[in-house]
Amino acid sequence: MLALLIIIYISFISLGLPDSLLGSAWPVMYEELSVPVSHAGILSMIVSLGTVVSSFLSAKLIERFGTGRVTLVSVAMTAIALIGFGLSHSFIPLLFFAIPLGLGAGSVDAALNNFVALHYKAKHMNWLHSFWGVGATTGPVIMSFWLAKKNNWNMGYITIGIIQSFLVIALMFSLPLWNNSQIEKKGTQNKDNKKDDIKVLSLPKIFQIPKAKMALLAFFSYCSLELTTGLWVGSYAVNNYGVSSEVAAFWTSIYYLGITIGRFLSGFMSVRFSNTKLIKIGLSGIFIGITLIVLPLPVWKIPIGLSLIGLGCAPIYPSMLHQTPRIFGKELSQSMMGIQMAFAYIGSTFTPPLFGFVAEHIGISLFPFFLLMLAFVLFFATETVSSKVFVHE
């Protein structure tokens, strides 16, 4: 399955490519489109809503059509949406193209994560999410290249859309590899060479599974923590410590670099440590980093604390994903994976704006304490899931 693994690695890079494009291009886009700067939030919410919806539906789609076809169609939707963004010269078309962009992202994310969790070791899950970071880093680089050429953000989107289109072609040729793999709509083979039917469950049924609520809370709180940190640490540094916006932006990049490098290193660590142990190690790094920021120390504490938070975040998300079939069983893993991804997106969509409301009405100085609260919720949820739970083989 080496060829298929290569396709999956490339797919994870492509997953990250569009994620940071809007933030990179919007300072130019909103002026050219003659809309308020706040309209970026409308596009972001539509994409996020589409991602949540497709994550909820992913198990049913994969059970009917198979992982390969769902991945192919999902990437095709994102490619069409990105090219549509590039061909748009007013705001209204962007609203329509944001829908397939979100729908495509959610299904492929849930499909690939469950496929890797079932078929590959934990090191690949960590490395794959590190490759997502490569894509998320490369997207703004491509966009900045085109913005330097007379603010041509349209070509930035079209370029990423063309890259996605090449992946669609690769996925078309790789369909036989997916069909020959052990997981498709008929189920997965267990150790007795029997088939485990993939069970598609509704959200109320998911809530009835032991530990499911805590697992969903863990994904919600983790993504809330990761995205709130990345969005607000720059403003916290500028407003509370008087650093320049350029320095604050650099410190934010240090945080994301810590996550990307940390996931690469976590791949090697996963050979020695279990998913549960990696989650605990990551949480330790997060708590140390946040504590460092809270302490009354000089301003150097922020980039160091951010580095520790980023390194701490690195193994948690991939490890939680990888242990899903081991905790809930292979037959339930796809349903759980889709719902988990949906709650992750809900956290990343709504919690950062929630802190923005807190910062505006109470004060941005609460930033590290807000992160500390999310870290404690994450600790409680992951500890509850990992304790006294039957591990499926």
Please determine, for residue 235, whether its predicted confidence score (pLDDT) is greater than 70.
yes
Tokens describing residue 305:
């604390």
User: Domain 203-386 class?
Assistant: mainly alpha
What was the pLDDT predicted at 186?
45
- Give per-residue pLDDT as tens, 218-227: 999 999 999 8
Query: Which amino acid is present at 68?
Result: G
- Give per-residue pLDDT as tens, 260-277: 889 889 989 988 998 999
The C-alpha atoms of residue 324 and residue 332 are separated, in whole angstroms, by 9
Predicted confidence band of residue 244 (pLDDT cuts 50, 70, 90): confident
Tell me whether the CATH fold assigned to 2-182 matches the one assigned to 203-386.
yes
The more confident residue out of 316 and 244 is 316
Superfamily of domain 2-182: MFS general substrate transporter like domains (1.20.1250.20)
Predicted confidence band of residue 58 (pLDDT cuts 50, 70, 90): confident
Question: What is the mean pLDDT of the segment spanning 101-122?
Answer: 83
Query: What is the per-residue DSSP string for 149-184?
Result: TTT-HHHHHHHHHHHHHHHHHHHHHHHHHHHHSS-B
The C-alpha atoms of residue 351 and residue 221 are separated, in whole angstroms, by 9
- Give per-residue pLDDT as tens, 137-159: 788 888 888 888 888 899 999 99
The C-alpha atoms of residue 91 and residue 37 are separated, in whole angstroms, by 12
Taking a C-beta distance cutoff of 8 angstroms, is the pair 102, 51 a contact? yes
Cβ-based burial of 39 (10 A; exposed 0-12, middle 13-18, buried ≥19): middle
Domain definitions of the chain by residue range: 2-182, 203-386
What was the pLDDT predicted at 372?
97
Question: What is the mean pLDDT of the segment spanning 325-343?
Answer: 84
Left (φ > 0), alpha (ψ -120 to 50) or beta: where does 274 sit?
beta
What was the pLDDT predicted at 190?
46
What was the pLDDT predicted at 181?
60
Question: What is the mean pLDDT of the segment spanning 88-102?
Answer: 94
- Give per-residue pLDDT as tens, 372-382: 999 999 999 99
